[in-house]
Amino acid sequence: MAKIKTSYFCQSCGFESAKWLGKCPSCQQWNTFVEEIVEKGNSKTPDWKSGTSNTISRVNKPSKVQEIEYTEDHRLITPDKELNRVLGGGIVGGSLVLIGGEPGIGKSTLMLQLALTLKNLKVLYVSGEESEKQIKLRAERILENPTSDCYILTETSTQNIFKQIEQLEPSIVIIDSIQTLHSAHIESTPGSVSQVRECTAELLRFAKETNTPVFLIGHITKDGMIAGPKILEHMVDTVLQFEGDRHHVYRILRAIKNRFGAASELGIYEMQGSGLREVSNPSEILLSQRDEPLSGVTISATMEGMRPMLIETQALVSASPYGTPQRSATGFDTKRMNMLLAVLEKRCGFKLGAKDVFLNIAGGIRVEDPSIDLGLIAAIISSNEDMPVSYKICFAAEVGLSGEIRAVNRIEQRIAEAQKLGFEQIFISKYNTKGLDISKYQIEIKTVAKVEEVFSLLFG
């Protein structure tokens, strides 16, 4: 009998070792190595066309860069404008897209909604987690009378899936999910490191050889990372993260990796009973509708990819009843919040060392753009002094360690967005005025260079 090849894999990062190790040298985790059978002794390299025998092997030869013929990729424009934005302008033929997210966040709903709304295209939706009746119930909830050519297949074997693909010849393939598939060429359980890697490799070869886009739905770990080996994210063309709190109605589709577009774009959806609805103007949903100004609340202009958004930044400063003050931030980096508090203490003289400080980005989103620094410190001082900031004022500037107001990118788009939503004033850095024509804006633009100037203009 042929010898069966085995190896040890780290279940945390996918690191491969010939022998068992107590500590993974890659991710430094303990007791994560599991022995897996990686290959049958009499098996050969699988081909996605497992049922055909007339496959011709082609040998690739090196070519000069100037001799390579290139034609612009034809993108498939979907009815979902938010998905088109995140993918870089539409679906590229032969691309492999991985979508990850929390359980119940709406990954399957998003993909089924895409399959049901594509017209004149054959879409094969492969599910290894749900039955046909369950998918039918969800499809009726999303679309009462679907007219698209959407085919449902409940199967987990990649060999059987490819047989159906050869007969159907779909234009798009959706796999829900990659952790449920298994290949007969690997003798290990579905979801293991070797199975996920082998199934993804077969789907990648199919996508590139037939120029068919493939969408993979992936699970995530308790740390929020996509489950399986890290090589899974390296193999695919695009990695999308579906974020949001199940207790909020809004969901964010964020691009983490994209070979065909910007990796900083995001799309916003609203979860409804009939599925996911696109949010074309996110600034309106992220700003609360209030009639009177409140202390500790300011509006900041941020950029997500190429999209300007106005978000509500909230702060609460209160006396600490215990010896150690609390520092908590929701939707913002806690370390950067501590840096801003140190700037206020050192440069501006505000005594915040013995007070609790809580920050929150309204709407349940997470922001990493440093341009909201000025809005955050204005909210902190507003709450500390209990003096409200007018809701007709917004901020767009970064704060440095010496208390200087630093310039941010794409300031014209931020100003235009604030003007469109009816704001009367916007605070920006005076170093942002180079090449900026202030006269073409109806909104009043306040240019500042130091944090002290901002407080004197706001609170006198």
Binding residue positions: 101-108
Region 117-125: what's the mean pLDDT?
91
Domain regions of the chain by residue span = 5-39, 74-280, 285-459
Question: Which two structure tokens, joined as six digits, stand for 69?
Answer: 């013929």
Residues belonging to the binding site for ATP are 101-108
The larger pLDDT score, comparing residue 423 to residue 306, is at: 423
Categorize the per-residue pLDDT at 158 as very low, low, confident or very high, splitting at 50, 70 and 90: very high
Average pLDDT, the chain: 86
Closest CA to 411 of 378, 442, 435: 435
- In 3D space, the residue among 172, 216, 186, 144 whose CA is nearest the CA of residue 40 turns out to be 186
Q: Which fold has domain 285-459?
A: Ribosomal Protein S5; domain 2 (3.30.230)
- 215: which strand partners? 97, 174
Model confidence over 422-460: pLDDT tens digits?
A: 899 999 999 998 888 888 899 999 999 999 999 899 987
Give the mean pLDDT of 77-97: 92
When mean pLDDT is compared across 175-184, 260-269, 402-411, the lowest value belongs to 260-269
Q: What is the largest CA-CA distance in the chain?
A: 87
Range of weakest confidence among 60-74, 134-148, 247-261, 433-447: 60-74
Are the C-beta atoms of residues 357 and 380 closer than 8 Å to each other? Answer: yes
Q: Which residues contact 448 (CB under 8 A, 6 or more apart)?
A: 397, 405, 427, 428, 429, 430, 454, 457
**CATH architecture entry for 74-280:** 3-Layer(aba) Sandwich (3.40)
Lowest mean pLDDT among 287-291, 413-417, 441-445: 287-291
What pLDDT does 273 receive?
A: 82
- pTM equals 0.74
Sheet with 16-17: list strands edge to edge. 16-17, 5-10, 33-39
Residue 424, classed as helix, strand or coil, is coil
Q: What is the predicted pLDDT for the residue at 224?
A: 74
For residue 377, with 0-12 CB atoms within 10 Å meaning exposed, 13-18 middle and 19 or more buried, which class applies?
buried
